[in-house]
Amino acid sequence: MRHQKKTIKLGRTAEHRKALLANQVCSLIEHQRIKTTLAKAKAVRPLAERMVTLGKNGSIHARRTALATLRQKSAVKKLFDDIAPRSAERNGGYTRIVKLGQRKSDSAPMAFIEWIDIGEVVEEKAAEQKKTKRQRAEATPERTEPERVEPKKEEPPATEEKPAELPPPAEEPKPKKRRWFGRKSEEEG
Per-residue pLDDT tens digits of the chain, which is 189 residues long: 989 998 999 999 999 999 999 999 999 999 999 999 999 999 999 999 999 999 999 999 999 999 999 999 999 999 999 999 999 999 999 999 999 999 999 999 999 999 999 866 556 666 677 666 666 656 555 554 445 545 555 555 554 555 456 666 667 777 776 666 665 555 555
Domain 14-125 - what CATH class?
A: alpha beta
Rounded CA-CA distance 34/40 in Å is 11
Q: Which residues contact 65 (CB under 8 A, 6 or more apart)?
A: 54
Query: CB atoms < 10 A from the CB of 77, how many?
Result: 14
pTM: 0.63
- Break the chain into its structural domains and give their ranges: 14-125
Rounded CA-CA distance 61/76 in Å is 12
